[in-house]
A = this chain, B = another copy of it.
């Protein structure tokens, strides 16, 4: 039994290329006492991964060169040594990295129940993106009933949940997404009040039409021009949640929001978030989210691609937008 892992071998300048990572085989070492061996079934692909491979100070240390690419994962414990946190056959999610097998002392892993939800969902709506959406819109955005909420990256793993949570709390929700298919998904499947197709229409006109009174919360996953367009339409005391900036992650220089003085005129705020800060409340979010899923108030889509060899190509879909909902790489079949 051999491991295969995507190793970070080169820090990219701009868009990551095939040369950024190298797929390497290795023998799986013996487990030390207290360790478990996890067979990774699904790997989480997230925009944040682009930031982790820059050699800059951020909210977590960069992935080191010549080490396994960091990622969330979900899989099954297939071997244990001594007294361990999990037992053989347990399904667990954690930071397994982009590889077939991970060895861990269990730290940072949590048990997931494949009977409650298909396990890829633990990387999406019931994982980091779901937690990000929940705390981002409710805590950072301080959502109030009757708010007008605009979400960018609205068909993505975080944005799609943000919009649905805002809806079920009584807000009016407009999503920005790329392409007709995604926009239809937002309004027809997820119950958004409106959608703006940034690939085919003017965002400013779209906001004006869909949010005639302006915006109370702008939940930003993309940065760049769309952030600037949204800032124009802030209402008094609006909140801008800075969750991500996918349009900027591969840029040499970030485009600053030139309309930031709208914050002054409208007494608005712009606040950044990192989901890890809410770790001690994940359980609360998890319980609410599973309840809403059961009540069919919350839907999610996982877009699953196959094969650890296809990591780079699949990862690129995050930036081309060629995916719907949560992007996941399946690396081992659950037998």
Q: Say yes or no: B272 contacts A261, CB within 8 Å.
A: yes
Q: From residue A217, how far is it (CB to closest CB) to chain B in Å? A: 14
Q: Which of the residues B57, B243, B267 comes within 8 Å of A277, measured between beta carbons? A: B267
Which of chain B's residues have a CB closer than 8 A to the CB of A269?
Answer: 269-272
Interface status of A310 (Cβ within 8 A of chain B): no
Q: Say yes or no: B258 contacts A260, CB within 8 Å.
A: no
Q: From residue A53, how far is it (CB to closest CB) to chain B in Å? A: 15
Interface status of A274 (Cβ within 8 A of chain B): yes
Which of chain B's residues have a CB closer than 8 A to the CB of A248?
Answer: 261
Measured in the bound complex, the distance between the Cα atoms of B244 and A147 in whole Å is: 27
| Partner-contacting stretch, out of A6-14, A157-165, A249-257 | A249-257
Chain A contact residues, majority secondary structure: loop
Q: Say yes or no: B274 contacts A267, CB within 8 Å.
A: yes
Name A41-68 residues within 8 Å CB distance of B: 57-59
Measured in the bound complex, the distance between the Cα atoms of B234 and A242 in whole Å is: 15
Q: Say yes or no: B259 contacts A264, CB within 8 Å.
A: no
Give the residue name and chain of the B residue nearest to A276 (CB). B267
Known: A256-B260, A260-B260. A265 touches B228 (CB 8 A): no
Interface status of A245 (Cβ within 8 A of chain B): yes
Q: Say yes or no: B270 contacts A260, CB within 8 Å.
A: yes
Q: Say yes or no: B273 contacts A267, CB within 8 Å.
A: yes
Which of chain B's residues have a CB closer than 8 A to the CB of A267?
Answer: 271-274, 277
Known: A228-B256, A269-B270. A261 touches B277 (CB 8 A): no
Q: Mark A182-208, 1 if CB is under 8 A from B, else 0.
A: 000000000000000000000000000
Measured in the bound complex, the distance between the Cα atoms of B330 and A16 in whole Å is: 62
Measured in the bound complex, the distance between the Cα atoms of B133 and A168 in whole Å is: 40
Give the residue name and chain of the B residue nearest to A264 (CB). B272
Measured in the bound complex, the distance between the Cα atoms of B261 and A300 in whole Å is: 28
Interface status of A126 (Cβ within 8 A of chain B): no
Known: A268-B271, A269-B272, A270-B269. A242 touches B256 (CB 8 A): no
Q: Which of the residues B253, B254, B268 comes within 8 Å of A260, measured between beta carbons? A: B254
Q: Say yes or no: B272 contacts A263, CB within 8 Å.
A: yes
Give the residue name and chain of the B residue nearest to A251 (CB). B258
Interface status of A20 (Cβ within 8 A of chain B): no
Q: From residue A60, how far is it (CB to closest CB) to chain B in Å? A: 10
Interface status of A301 (Cβ within 8 A of chain B): no
Q: List 12 A-B contacts (CB under 8 A).
A: A57-B265, A59-B265, A223-B261, A242-B261, A245-B261, A254-B258, A254-B261, A256-B258, A261-B272, A264-B274, A265-B272, A269-B270
| Residues of chain A whose beta carbon lies under 8 Å from any beta carbon of chain B | 57-59, 223, 228, 242-245, 248, 253-274, 277
